[in-house]
Amino acid sequence: MMGFWWRPLGVLAGVLLVALMLWAGSGWVAALGFLAGIQAFVMLRRLWQEYRLARWLESPDEVEPPEATGTWGDIFYRLQKLQRRQHASRSELSNALEQFEHAAQAVPDAMVILNGSEQIEWCNPASRKYMGLDCERDRGQFIRYLMRQAYFLDFLDAGDYSRRLVCKSPVNRELTLSLQLVPFGESQKLLLARDITDLERVDAMRRDFIANVSHELRTPLTVVGGFVETLADAPDLPAAESRHYFNLMLDHTRRMQHLLDDLLTLSRLESDDHAFKDEPVNVPEMAQALKAEAESLSRGRHRISLRLDSDAWLKGSLQEIRSALGNLVSNAVRYTPEGGEITLAWQVRGGEGAFSVTDTGEGIAAEHIPRLTERFYRVDRSRSRETGGTGLGLAIVKHVLTRHGARLDIRSTPGKGSTFSAVFPAQRLEAAAVAPDAATPLPERSRAAG
Ligand code: ADP
């Protein structure tokens, strides 16, 4: 800032020197005239520069910034620097705001900013989807007038910022929301709404699953417990009677064993660390083994045939595919009355490999078909139990097929029979190997056929 003074002081000293010289040479009138002239010039110049400055300050973005030399040049330069700095920070601020706005618009959760009187100051597009709010239309509106549900008003009144309100969306009853209020600034609040429909569904499934497993285990456990008590209370029961009880206990124990086996299989299929094996699977050989398994389960009560229209192999997990197809075969035997026909077939159609099991059994009404692969879903609970079913077989099949990019096609006519097909995509098919040596393991488990 010291530099500011040198130039005007230098000019002043020069002017005074010239005035003194004039005084000495031409007398005081000339010196005073000179000083008056300089004064008038300085005043006029200052007036002009002040005018330019005022004009520029009035509309700095439209009018060119004034330029000058000397002290005024310095002042103009500093002002321009200030203006540039202000411009830069203003554009930085508006960039940051723009980015915030973009981010808030992209956030999948609904965000509503409320002022101290609970009027909407701003909201993002997700608030329309979840709460029916429109940022343009509803800005300045009281949130209480727009969302009048009693539970929501109670939530606002409670002002408990640690609490979350779980409720149905007022605009879409199929969505479950979790609402939260977050205070900020002087008296503002941020209302957040998150879609927790999937979480709720998973939670409900978990609860149902536990209830189902408990229910499935309770019956055989009660039966076995009852027989054990009977046998303990009457140790002298005739041998035939006690053998009957032991056989029943064995049946129920096997039932529990099957249930636990299926539960473990499902849990292994679901766990991420369960490595997926991609090995060659000799389907024609497996089909022969499955036919033998069907015959053993049927014990001569059904006519069983196998149609091998292709010698193609599959790529995938031998054990999983074996278990899935085994479940389809076991179901066909269990749900087909005596004298019925069961046909296993392996064919390649339209580039896809289809292993199908057709039976002339009881069939399934159309409304049940989409739900058959749900855990514990059964059309006829007692028929399933009588035949050793756990209600988990088709859930396992669906899991295995999904892991192989395959699908389960179910066609059925009540009273006539059903066809369950596991359809594998072309990329899972492999040409038959020249010397197949991968032995198909024996049946993993056999359910008792009814
Ligand atoms: P379950 O152990 O009860 O057989 P699954 O998951 O294997 O359980 O099958 C689910 C339900 O689908 C069965 O309870 C049965 O009602 C029906 N189902 C499965 N396969 C057949 C079939 N081949 N014929 C008729 N109904 C079947």
> 421: domain CATH number?
3.30.565.10
- Rounded CA-CA distance 401/424 in Å is 8
pLDDT in tens, 74-100: 888 888 888 889 889 999 999 998 998
For ligand 1, the distance from its centroid to the CA atom of residue 359, given in whole angstroms, is 12
Residues 6+ away with beta carbon under 8 Å from 385:
255
* Closest CA to ligand 1's atom 14: 378
Is the model's pLDDT at 282 over the cut of 70?
yes
Say if residue 337 is in the same domain as residue 413.
yes
Supply the DSSP string of 167-210, one letter for each residue: EE-SS-TT-EEEEEEEEETTTEEEEEEEE-HHHHHHHHHHHHHH
Q: Examine the domain organization and report whether 258 and 306 are in the same domain.
A: no
Instruction: Report the percent of the chain where pLDDT is more than 70.
Output: 94
**358 and 381 share one domain:** yes
Let me know whether 95 and 118 are in one domain: no
Highest mean pLDDT among 22-26, 48-52, 411-415: 411-415
Rounded to the nearest angstrom, the distance between the alpha carbon of 383 and the centre of ligand 1 is 9
Residues 6+ apart with CB under 8 A from 408: 373, 394, 397, 398, 401, 420, 421, 422, 423
How far apart are the C-alpha atoms of 357 and 410, rounded to whole Å?
Answer: 10
Domain that holds residue 256: 203-270
Q: What is the pLDDT of residue 445?
A: 46
Distance CA 296, CA 445 (A): 11
CATH, residue 151: 3.30.450.20
What pLDDT shows up at residue 8? 80
Do 300 and 421 fall into the same domain? Answer: yes
327 CA closest ligand 1 atom index? 7
**Both 158 and 287 in a single domain?**
no
**pTM, rounded to two decimals:** 0.67
Q: What is the number of the ligand 1 atom nearest to the C-alpha of 384?
A: 3
**Residue 70 has what pLDDT?**
76
Is residue 374 assigned to a domain? Answer: yes
Which of helix, strand or coil describes residue 411? strand
Residue nearest (by alpha carbon) to ligand 1 atom 3: 391
389 lines ligand 1 (CB under 6 A): yes
CB atoms near residue 442 (< 10 Å)? 10
**116-130, 191-205, 376-390, 396-410: least confidently modelled range:** 376-390
What is the rounded average pLDDT for all residues in the chain? 90
Pairing mode of beta strands 313-316, 110-114: unpaired
More confident residue, 332 or 106: 332
Task: Tell which of 270, 290, 314 closes a domain.
Answer: 270
Q: Is residue 15 located within the same domain as residue 159?
A: no
Same domain, yes or no: 333 and 393: yes
Q: Which of the pair, 444 or 208, is modelled with greater confidence?
A: 208
Q: How do 303-308 and 341-349 pair as beta strands?
A: parallel
Q: Which of 262, 335, 396, 418 to mutate to test the pocket of ligand 1 (most atoms within 8 A of CB)?
A: 335
Same domain for 283 and 428? Answer: yes
Of 73, 101, 129, which residue sits at a domain end? 101
Task: Specify whether 265 is located in the same domain as 305.
Answer: no
Separation of alpha carbons 301 and 114, rounded Å: 74
Residues 6+ apart with CB under 8 A from 53: 66, 75, 76, 79
Predicted local confidence at residue 329, as pLDDT = 98
pLDDT at 444 over 80: no
- Specify the pLDDT at position 433: 65
**Which one of 101, 126, 141 terminates a domain?**
101
Same domain, 169 and 245: no
Number of domains present in the structure of the chain: 4
Q: What is the pLDDT of residues 55-80, one digit of tens each?
A: 888 887 777 777 777 778 888 888 88
82 by Cβ neighbours in 10 Å (0-12 / 13-18 / 19+) ranks as: exposed
Residues 341 and 428 in one domain: yes
pLDDT digits (tens, 9 = 90+) for 398-419: 999 999 999 999 999 999 999 9
Residue 16 lies in a domain: yes
